[in-house]
Amino acid sequence: MALYAIVSPGGSPGATTSALALALAWPRPVIVAECDPGGGAILAGLFAGHLPAPPGLLGLALEAGRGAEVTTADLVAQLAPLDKGGNRWFLAGIHDPRQALGLAPSWPAIAAALAGHSADVIADCGRLDAVESRPASILAVASLVVLVMRASLRQVAAARPRIEMVTAITGGSARLRLLLVGEQGHAVREIARTQRVAVLGSLPLDRKTAAVLSDGQGRRSGLHRSSLIRAAKVAGLAMIELTAGTAAAGRTVVADPVGARAADHVAVLPARSEP
């Protein structure tokens, strides 16, 4: 299936919250991978520290550090359930930004494992900076890079160089889309026009649902009826439609050691357990 990289221009526009909203609305098996070199927030946020999860990204880096391929089995061993449905999974990120530098050499192997899994993968890559620890390999092999941003002038200014960075990494803007949180403004239309980037869609401001996803504040029941999750479903379907037929092309950038096995995703996912 496809790998989707979520990035932000900084300023905490809602990249993690949007990645989770997309995953909870996703119509087929999906893994949310916390690849933010600034540190993951889902265990401490959505799960309020209550989910006993495997080491996740660091566990994969350990495999990659041994010089071996990171296989599908390695990836599956590091997943935790995102909800009780059995189709949404979660790869925990680092919890200390100081771990990011040590992780950097492992990104290509981790990216190949994520791109090779039979489920879709939504990788929260956080703020895109010009630093060595950024997960550029994930962007390079992703079927689609989604830049989550608000419509403020400040966000637009911060987005410009990030659009150029994604364009340099992916070899053009064809695999890049903007996802707006809140209202669309004139400035965003302008940046989309001048930098030739298409807008994927928008997610509404929905503080109540966002607080559940980003900080575990409030109840998770009934989330699917919220405006945020309903909009995320529309955005997710647009992402899937955009990448239909292109996922394989994205994967060829980096050698895929595990291959695409669409038929065996049930077999390779870990046994269902409650979060």
Ligand X SMILES: Nc1ncnc2c1ncn2[C@@H]1O[C@H](COP(=O)(O)OP(=O)(O)OP(=O)(O)O)[C@@H](O)[C@H]1O
Q: Which residues bind ligand X (CB under 6 A)?
A: 8, 12-17, 36, 41, 126-127, 181, 203, 205-207, 210-211, 214, 228
- Only one of the segments 9-17, 198-206, 239-247, 261-269 lies at the binding site for Mg ion (rule: CB under 5 A); that segment is 9-17
Greatest CA separation found in the chain? 50
CA distance linking residue 105 with residue 132, whole number of Å: 9
Name the segment binding Mg ion (CB under 5 A); options: 7-15, 67-75, 141-149, 230-238.
7-15
The residue number whose beta carbon is nearest to Mg ion equals 16
**Partner interacting with residue 211 (select from Mg ion, ligand X, none; CB below 5-8 Å by kind):** ligand X
Burial class (CB in 10 A: 0-12, 13-18, 19+), 20: buried
User: How many residues are listed for the chain in this entry?
Assistant: 275
Give 44 or 62: the residue with its C-beta nearer to Mg ion: 44
Chain residues 11-50 in contact with Mg ion, contact rule CB under 5 A: 15-16
User: Are the C-beta atoms of 140 and 252 separated by less than 8 Å?
Assistant: no
Look up residue 262 and give its DSSP letter.
Answer: G
Contacts with Mg ion: how many residues (CB under 5 A)?
Answer: 2
* Residue placing its CB nearer to ligand X in the complex, 63 or 206: 206
Six-digit token string for 270: 């870990």
Q: Of Mg ion, ligand X, none, which one does residue 118 interact with (CB within 5 to 8 Å by kind)?
A: none
Q: How far is the CB of 205 from ligand X (least distance, A)?
A: 4
Strands of the sheet with 79-81, listed across from one edge: 79-81, 88-91, 30-34, 120-127, 3-8, 144-149, 176-181, 198-203
| Strands 176-181, 144-149: pairing kind | parallel
Burial of 24 (0-12, 13-18, 19+ CB in 10 A): buried
Minimum separation from the CB atom of position 241 to ligand X (A):
22
Q: 17 touches which of Mg ion, ligand X, none (CB within 5 to 8 A by kind)? A: ligand X
Among ligand X, Mg ion, none, the one that 167 touches (CB under a kind-dependent 5 to 8 A) is none
Residue 52 CB, nearest distance to Mg ion (Å)?
A: 22
Which one, of 12, 41, 9, 20, lies nearest residue 235 by Cα?
Answer: 20
Nearest approach, Cβ of residue 26 and ligand X (Å):
17
Contacts of residue 214, Cβ cutoff 8 Å, sequence gap at least 6: 14, 16, 17, 20, 41, 45, 46
Q: Which does 205 bind (CB under 5 to 8 A by kind): Mg ion, ligand X, none?
A: ligand X
Rounded to the nearest whole angstrom, what is the least distance from the CB of residue 38 to ligand X in the complex?
6
Query: Judged by CB, which is closer to Mg ion: 15, or 145?
Result: 15
Out of ligand X, Mg ion, none, which partner does residue 228 contact, by CB within 5 to 8 A per kind? ligand X
Return the number of other C-beta atoms located less than 10 Å from residue 241's C-beta: 9
Contact residues for Mg ion (CB under 5 A)?
15-16
